[in-house]
């Protein structure tokens, strides 16, 4: 009878409620702890660089920075008034993408429109190259992240095998620590690579788009300025200052004195 009751009674472990899994905070603590000091520092520095490059490119490739609002209208109005020196000073004082391209083109406009277009095109290539150089660092981070994750994976597996081959009873804590390190570093490396690759492709298309827009607008403005400079200046009437007498006409007869015959 006692044996039957013992057999019918559930085990003590089966009667215990299942342990609740940790929350997000506990996972993050375990994640950063498993990364370790060396891999955590390296991946942290790369993460900061990734965020810095993304923010800088976002601010640098805004349309208000590439083509300032109101600049095209003000420049066109100045050129239509034939104030070419003021238009050149306006473009030179503006450090935007369009302003730098216009300055390069206008400095060669005296040698012809084609020469000015070539100078503007060279400046576009120069500015575009500098933007692409900054964007290339995102591609480097996108490639470097999985490689660092792979290094961490190999290092963690080596730690696990060392715990298993130490002889005697296997240390479950050391084995779990090595596997956790391998997986966490791999996750961090992939987590760096995904946004880096995405933003690299996004900014590459953005650079191409804004370069074409700035080049087309600069070409239109240079063409307009060139043709306005070739037009004859409008005839202006004679303006007399207040308080002065207008000069006599050339056809006006000069007064003569009559001479009486003797």
For residue 112, give the 3-state DSSP assignment.
coil
Q: What is the pLDDT of residue 118?
A: 93
Given a cut of 90, whether residue 229 has pLDDT beyond it is no
Q: Answer with the residue of higher pLDDT: 8 or 220.
A: 220
Q: Answer with the residue of higher pLDDT: 40 or 261.
A: 40
Q: What is the pLDDT of residue 252?
A: 36
Given a cut of 70, whether residue 188 has pLDDT beyond it is yes
Taking all residues of the chain, what is their mean pLDDT, rounded to a whole number? 80
Least confident of 82-86, 124-128, 171-175, 221-225: 171-175
Angstrom distance (rounded) from CA 30 to CA 189: 17
Q: What percent of the chain has pLDDT over 90?
A: 40
Instruction: Give the residue-averaged pLDDT of 137-150.
Output: 92
Q: Of 97, 96, 197, 106, whose CA–CA distance to 145 is shortest?
A: 197
Give the tens place of pLDDT for each residue, 3-58: 444 444 555 444 445 445 558 888 888 888 888 888 889 999 999 999 999 999 99
Given a cut of 80, whether residue 210 has pLDDT beyond it is yes
Q: Which string of DSSP letters, residue by residue, matches 24-59? A: HHHHHHHHHHHH-HHHHHHHHHHHHHHHHHHHHHHH
For residue 90, give the 3-state DSSP assignment.
helix
Least confident of 99-108, 138-147, 223-232: 223-232
Highest mean pLDDT: which range of 24-38, 65-79, 187-201: 187-201
Q: What is the pLDDT of residue 197?
A: 95
Given a cut of 60, whether residue 79 has pLDDT beyond it is yes
Do residues 142 and 197 touch, judged by C-beta distance below 8 A? yes
Q: Answer with the residue of higher pLDDT: 124 or 251.
A: 124
Q: Is the pTM of this model over 0.85?
A: no
Assign 247 a pLDDT band (cuts: 50, 70, 90): very low
Given a cut of 70, whether residue 129 has pLDDT beyond it is yes
């Amino acid at each position: 009878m006692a044996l039957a009751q013992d057999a019918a009674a559930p085990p003590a472990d089966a009667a215990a409620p299942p342990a609740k899994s940790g929350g997000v905070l506990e996972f993050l603590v375990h994640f950063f702890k498993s990364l370790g000091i060396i891999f955590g520092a390296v991946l942290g520095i790369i993460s900061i660089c990734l965020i810095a490059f993304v923010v800088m490119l976002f601010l640098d490739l805004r349309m208000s920075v590439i083509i300032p609002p109101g600049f095209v209208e003000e420049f066109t109005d100045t050129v239509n008034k034939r104030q070419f020196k003021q238009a050149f000073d306006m473009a030179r004082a503006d450090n935007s993408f369009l302003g730098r391209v216009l300055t390069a083109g206008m400095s060669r406009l005296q040698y012809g429109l084609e020469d000015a277009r070539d100078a503007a095109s060279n400046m576009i290539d120069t500015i575009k190259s500098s933007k692409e150089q900054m964007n290339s660092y995102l591609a480097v981070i996108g490639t470097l992240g999985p490689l660092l994750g792979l290094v961490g994976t190999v290092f963690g597996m080596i730690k696990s095998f060392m715990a298993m081959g130490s002889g005697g009873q296997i240390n479950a804590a050391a084995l779990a620590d090595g596997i956790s390190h391998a997986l966490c570093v791999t996750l961090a490396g992939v987590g760096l690579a995904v946004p880096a690759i995405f933003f690299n492709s996004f900014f590459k298309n953005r650079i191409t788009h804004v370069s074409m827009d700035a080049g087309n607008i600069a070409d239109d403005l240079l063409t307009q300025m060139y043709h306005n400079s070739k037009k004859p200046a409008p005839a202006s009437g004679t303006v007399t200052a207040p308080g002065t007498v207008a000069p006599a006409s050339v056809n006006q007869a000069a007064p003569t004195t009559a001479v009486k015959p003797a």
